[in-house]
Amino acid sequence: MIVVTTPTGQIGRHLLDLLLDARDTAGPVRVIARDPARLPARARDHVEVVRGSHADPGVLKEACAGADRVFWLVPPTRTAESAEGLFDTFTRPLCEVIEQGGVERVVAVSTLGRGIARDAGLISASLAMDDRIAATGVHYRALCPPFLMENLLDQAGTVRDLGAFFLTVAGDRVLRTCAVRDIAAAAARLLLDDGWTGRADVPLVGPDELTPEGMARVMAEVLDRPVGYRRSTVEEYRATIVGSGASEGWARGAADMVRALDEQGFYGAGAPSTPEWAPTGFRQWCEEVLLPAVRD
Ligand SMILES: NC(=O)c1ccc[n+]([C@@H]2O[C@H](COP(=O)([O-])OP(=O)(O)OC[C@H]3O[C@@H](n4cnc5c(N)ncnc54)[C@H](OP(=O)(O)O)[C@@H]3O)[C@@H](O)[C@H]2O)c1
C-alpha cells in the first residue's frame, strides 16, 4: 500500500496519475486529502481516501495503517508562523507513525543545498526534515530539486502584461531548474522499486545551464513577445509576500532562503545536471506549460 500526501498539489497530482497508470504493479494507493472533491474523477474511482491534513497525527496514523510506502510533501503555507514551525508540525507526526512500525520506505520532496545552505530559511527547514525522518531508520529518499520552473506560473500575468518576470537572484548567474513533472516521475520510480535501502538524496537538476537573463530570452522566443528579467531586492520580495497574506515569520524564512540562494549559490552552476532524473528542458517546459498559461 502506498500513501500519497498532497494528491491535489502540483507534484502530488502528477504522481497520482503515474501511480494509477501503473496500478497493476503499484498495488493499492491511499491518499490524504483535505477536500476529496478536488481529486480527479479517475482517482476517486481507484484510490482509498482519508479526509484531513497529514499534519494531523490521527489522520496520518489512519492513512498509514497497513501501508509500507509513503510519498511525503510538506505544503508551502504562507500563513504558517515560521518555516521551522511548519516543517516541525508536519514532520513530528510522520516520525511517530514510522516509529510505530509498518512504513518501510519514505520518498519525500526536499531541496538541493545539503552541506552548503546555511541560515537559508525554508531550505534549511526542509533539509532538517530529511535528517529527522532518516533518523527514524526508515529507508529514505529525499528528492532534491533546485528552482521549480512552475514558480514562474505565478507571474504569467506579469509576463503577459508587463513583458517581464521578477526574481531576487543575479540575472547573469546560472539558476538551475526542475519541472514538477520530473519530481513526480522520480517519486513514482522510487515508490515502485523495492530494491533500494538506507538514506540518500536524489538531486533533480534539469538539463539547462541558463541564467535568469537567458531564461527571459527563451521565454521571449517561445511566447513570441518581449520578455525581460527584472531583479527585485530581498526586501521588495519580503514586502510583496507579506502584502499577499504571508505571516511575518514565513516571509522571514522566504527572505532568508532567497538571500542564501544568491550568496551561497547552491542552485547555481556548481550543481551538476541529472538528466536521467530531470529530463525536462526549460524551452520544452515553456512550450508545453508556460505558453498556454500566458495565453489564458
Ligand atoms: N518552489 C521551489 O522552487 C522549490 C524548490 C525546492 C523544493 N520545493 C518544494 O517543492 C514542494 C512544492 O510542492 P507542490 O508544488 O506540489 O505544492 P502545491 O502545488 O502548493 O501543493 C500542495 C498541496 O498541499 C495541500 N495543502 C496545503 N496546505 C495543507 C495543509 N495544511 N495540510 C494538508 N494539505 C495541505 C494543498 O491541497 P488542498 O488545498 O487540496 O488541500 C495543495 O494542493 C514543497 O515541498 C517545496 O518545499 C520547492
Of the chain, the percentage scoring pLDDT greater than 70 comes to 100
SS (H, E, C) the chain: CEEECCCCCHHHHHHHHHHHHCHHHHCCEEEEECCHHHCCHHHHHHCEEEECCCCCHHHHHHHHCCCCEEEECCCCCCCCCCHHHHHHHHHHHHHHHHHCCCCCEEEEECCCCCCCCCCCCHHHHHHHHHHHHHHCCCEEEEEECCEEHHHHHHHHHHHHHHCEEEECCCCCCCCCEECHHHHHHHHHHHHCCCCCCCEEEEECCCCCCCCHHHHHHHHHHHHCCCCEEEECCHHHHHHHHHHCCCCHHHHHHHHHHHHHHHHHCCCCCCCCCCCCCCCCCHHHHHHHHHHHHHHC
Domain-wise residue ranges, the chain: 2-145+179-203
- pLDDT, position 231: 97
Atom 41 in ligand 1: residue holding the nearest Cα: 34
Q: Which residues does ligand 1 sit against, CB inside 6 Å?
A: 6, 8-12, 34-35, 38, 53-55, 73-77, 109, 111, 126, 145, 147-148, 151, 180
Render pLDDT for 150-162 as a digit per residue (tens, 0 to 9): 999 999 999 999 9
pTM score, whole prediction:
0.98
Confidence grade of residue 45 (pLDDT, cut at 50, 70, 90): confident
One CATH from 3.30.1440.10, 2.70.98.10, 3.40.50.720, 3.50.50.60 for 2-145+179-203 = 3.40.50.720
Render pLDDT for 199-237 as a digit per residue (tens, 0 to 9): 999 999 999 999 999 999 999 999 999 999 999 999 999
